[in-house]
Amino acid sequence: MAFTEKDFYAGHFNPKDYLDTYYTFSSAKEHENGFLIFYLKNLHQAFILDDIKGDTLIDIGSGPTIYQFLSACESFGEIIATDYCEQNWEEMQRWLRKEPGAFDWSPVVKYVCELEGNREKWEEKEEKVRRAIKQILKCDVTQPSPLGPVSLPPADCLLSSLCLESACKDLPTFRSALKNISSLVKPGGHLVLCSILEETYYKVGQQPFSCLYLERASVEEALKGAGFAVKWLNETKINLPLSVTDAKAVCVAVAQKCQN
């Protein structure tokens, strides 16, 4: 399908439909939750088992989700969320403020607490995430300064999940977006990248959005081209209905920004 421009996202992306479609977590939807379980396990690997840690983490293209922070909040005291669409900031704020109608992340939180060996601590985990998120900023990964006029000290870690493949119309744009965001992390710092592979579209409600078709090799090459050394990359096949997406696989890469 034709590339979905960012202003179309701003006008038509419905965060509630997105969350209901992809993040409703239940045993009845186990195969549909496969991509999310894979991400949660690999984020646990990166932040808990591999001990990637520091003071500040910047999340690029947070959308309306918080699952990506559940392991990271154990390793970083300050998390800065970012997104292009204001409706996504507002949806995240609803959860942060515990407002009525906020998405219920508790099944996902309990799953991550189980990975960490303490399912009973899920309410404490939610509060830890709320305390850790210090700011939500506007971000445009296609710009050389993705955060616009906002100037931040280089972060210890960048995290990005399901953002770049939606924001970039072709591989050269994807490569330059990775270079753009690399300016936000200090040399020796890490990038944890959750990507979707072999996808051309996904639907939010009845609204289709384009996705850049990526293969594992193109992700690895783009990371290296942006000045990162790939430490590991895990990939798995997924099976979601074509009524929702044509994605074939997902991957998580952990890379370190080269010192020079």
9 among the known binding-site residues?
no
Supply the mean pLDDT for the chain: 96
250 among the known binding-site residues?
no
Domain assignment present for 236:
yes
10-33 per-residue burial string, b: 16 or more CB within 10 A, e: under 16: eeebbbeebbebbbbbeeeeeebb
Residue 61, domain CATH: 3.40.50.150
pLDDT > 80? residue 96:
yes
| CB within 8 Å of 7: residues ≥ 6 apart | none
Look up the pTM and report it.
Answer: 0.97
67 among the known binding-site residues?
yes
> pLDDT tier at 118 (50, 70, 90 boundaries)?
confident
Residue with tokens 């193109």: 218
pLDDT > 90? residue 32:
no
What is d(CA 142, CA 130) in angstroms, rounded to the nearest whole number? 29
Domain assignment present for 88:
yes
54 among the known binding-site residues?
no
Taking residue 201's Cβ as centre, other Cβ atoms within 10 Å add up to 16
50 among the known binding-site residues?
no
Domain assignment present for 54:
yes
Domain assignment present for 1:
no
Tens of pLDDT, residues 162-197:
999 999 999 999 999 999 999 999 999 999 999 999
Work out how many domains the chain is built from and give that number.
1
Domain, as residue range, for 231: 6-257
Domain assignment present for 21:
yes
180 among the known binding-site residues?
no
Domain assignment present for 153:
yes
Domain assignment present for 115:
yes
Q: What is the mean pLDDT of residues 87-100?
A: 97
84 among the known binding-site residues?
no
How far is Cα of residue 205 from the mean position of the Cα atoms in its chain? 20
